[in-house]
Amino acid sequence: MMIDDSLYVPRAKKSLGQNFLRDRNIAAKIVAALDIQRHDRVLEIGPGSGALARYILPRSPAFFAALEKDAHWAKQLSTLAGKHGQGHIHSILTDALTFAWERLRPAFAWKIIGNLPYNVASPLMWDIAHRADGCGYAVFMVQKEVALRVAAHPGTSAYGALSIWIQSFVEPCYLFTVGPHAFTPRPRVDSSVISFSRHGQAFGFSPDHLAWTLRLCFQQRRKQMQGILRTAGYPAGKIMETIKISGRSRPEELTVQDFHALSQALANMRNSENFFSEA
């Protein structure tokens, strides 16, 4: 393991969930996973002290921008680019949770990378998967537990609303695990690096309807689907027959495609003039 002392930074801010990556080998491996080409536009989330940026700059992407919430590190990014003498970083002082991901237009080859703070990783990936249509590929380092949930398969304990939502828009791939020793301060858990590849096809579902359905089902994930739907006032038998799913199944047993069909069936039912009489 190679630790770069030049990456030593002031005390991390707990309010921002900061854990700074100091292992140069891991940093280089993460950037290599993004497979940056000269025509790519790269957006980094939370660059901090520049552990990843140091390896992105020499690859000379067509455009390199970084979203940084900490004003201190946002100011340091241009200095970092000057030291390397290769490329330029467009530093954007903002909270990634409020960034308009629709700004990444599909007409350009966008790639996103980031060592995501544990406390915001799930909502960030939720938004990026759904709203960043212009991003064809992404690489993130997150808490291992979250990475396992994102890549989980039906029928496993890790499978849930986050798995289904993200897999509805992108294909996640678990790449490798990173131990606490690679960071300062050391987190109490392992981290993992995952990638997102955007689907080349449209599934034909409504994101709003899907999000509503996931909330309904996974708030009661231990119940059978027929019980969940009846409690919510839906004709469970009719819906289960329509989408060909067993009423005795539980939410974590349904596939991503099952949830797409279920969300549409429930939406159609809510829009039906006979909904209340049928229920």
Residues 67 and 131 placed together within one structural domain of the fold? yes
Residue 10, pLDDT above cutoff 80: no
Q: Could you tell me the pLDDT band of residue 279, with boundaries at 50, 70 and 90?
A: very low
Look-up of token digits 């986050």: 162
Q: What is the pLDDT of residues 69-87, one digit of tens each?
A: 888 888 888 777 666 556 6
Same domain, 23 and 147: yes
Mean pLDDT of the region 230-243 = 93
- Whether residue 99 is found in the same domain as residue 136: yes
Q: Are residues 23 and 48 in the same domain?
A: yes
Segments forming the whole domain that contains residue 270: 207-278
Question: 251 and 160 in one domain?
Answer: no
Q: Report which of 119, 130, 122, 117 is spatially closest to residue 73, judged by C-alpha positions.
A: 117
- 169, 198, 227 - which closes a domain: 198
- From 177, 198, 219, give the residue that closes a domain: 198
CATH of the domain at 111: 3.40.50.150
CATH number at residue 239: 1.10.8.100
Q: Which residue has the tokens 């096809």?
A: 201
pLDDT at 29 over 70: yes
How high does pLDDT run on average in the chain?
Answer: 88
Residues 189, 212, single domain; the answer is no
Same domain, 165 and 265: no
- The single-letter code of the amino acid at 152 is A
Q: Domain count for the chain, please give it.
A: 2
Where a domain ends, among 178, 198, 218?
198
Identify whether residues 96 and 174 lie together within a single domain: yes
Could you report the per-residue pLDDT of 107-165, keeping only the tens digit for each? 888 999 999 989 899 999 999 999 999 999 999 999 999 999 999 999 999 999 999 99
CA distance 74 to 72: 6
Phi, psi of 102 (to 5 degrees): -65, -15
Per-residue confidence (pLDDT) for residue 5, from 0 to 100: 39
Are both 211 and 188 inside the same structural domain? Answer: no
Instruction: Give me the count of residues in the chain.
Output: 279
Instruction: Collect all residues with Cβ–Cβ distance below 8 Å to 39 and sequence separation of at least 6.
Output: 62, 109
Residue 33: name the closest of 101, 115, 96, 108 by CA.
Answer: 115
Once rounded to an integer, what is the mean pLDDT over residues 81-99? 82
Q: Is the pLDDT of residue 224 over 90?
A: yes
In this prediction, residue 86 carries a pLDDT of: 61
- The verdict on 176 and 255 lying in the same domain is no
Q: Based on the fold, state whether residues 184 and 128 are members of the same structural domain.
A: yes
Same domain, 97 and 223: no
